[in-house]
Structure 1
Amino acid sequence: MRAVKRAFLIAVGSLSLGLGVLGIFLPLLPTTPLLLLAAACYIRSSDKLYHWLITNKRFGPYILNYREGNGIPLKVKVISVSLLWFSMLFTVIFVVPLILVKILLLAVAAYFTRFILKQKTLQEDAMEWRGKVFEE
């Protein structure tokens, strides 16, 4: 039974990681929560995968800084909010014909914008320091 649970957690963690990577390019997929879910699954199933994830040059610093409450870099906030609104406005103007769906999409965009902007802003020097730790 333990092997089944371990395999299930690795599968869910890997799926979450894959969706998190897609979330970098698709604004409606929340990248950080999916990466945090992957880390939670990996820490309960595979020390090797968890270690790989948190020491990964691309994902590790974001996961650790978020978990430690250090915040999100300003550059990431600006890109995230910009992509979110660009994609939502494009969808509302050119794709979705129903008014209620348009309102719902704009409400979702407003909610995630508020969520992103409420997060503490990480100073760039903290990111550079964290990056140097991972390079070593």
Structure 2
Amino acid sequence: MPSLRIHPHAGVRYALLLLGWLSVVLGVIGIFLPMLPTTPFLLLAAACFMRSSARFYNWLVQHSRLGPWIHDYLDGRGIPRRAKVYAISLMWASIALSCYLVPLIWARAFMLMSAILVTLYILRQKNLPQRTSPQ
């Protein structure tokens, strides 16, 4: 498991906690709604909790129902192909909408470069065989 790096600034920790819990809620909803991905939201929650709260990070990764969704990635075994497709698709849809709404060319360039780099990172991760539920 990765080492925790709690952020020193309280305001950042609270923002990360809020984003982490929002991601947990969306991840849980994604278990029941096939159009909403579960794994990317739980990975985001784990990353947020890793920098804001050791207690909530440990709760998430040790949770009997939610932990197995992210253990493969955290242990270095990879990401299910379906999760990759969902994550990349949602990211590019949100970037496209953001680029449409934001008229600043430098902001668009930054968003597009970020999306390209995140896409490359996700695609370079190992693929896991598809499964319908965590083990």
Fold equivalence (TM over 0.5): yes
Report the number of matched residues: 111
Deviations 1:23-65 (A, max 9, x none): 757xxx97525414526843xxx5x97256422423x123311
Kept after mapping to 2: 8 A contact 1:77/1:116 = yes
State yes or no: 1:82 paired with 2:89: yes
Task: Give the whole-Å Cα distance in 2 for the aligned partners of 1:17 and 1:105.
Answer: 22
Structure with the bigger percentage of helix:
1
1:64 aligns with 2:71: yes
TM-score, length-normalised on structure 2?
0.62
Return structure 1 stretches of 4+ with deviation > 6 angstroms: none
Gap regions ≥5 residues in structure 1: 1-11
The structure with more radius of gyration: 1
Unaligned runs of 5+ in 2: 1-12, 28-35
CA distance in structure 1 between the partners assigned to 2:104 and 2:60 by the alignment:
44
Query: What amino acid sits opposite 2:122 in the alignment?
Result: I
Amino acid at match of 1:116: I
**RMSD after superposition:** 3.6
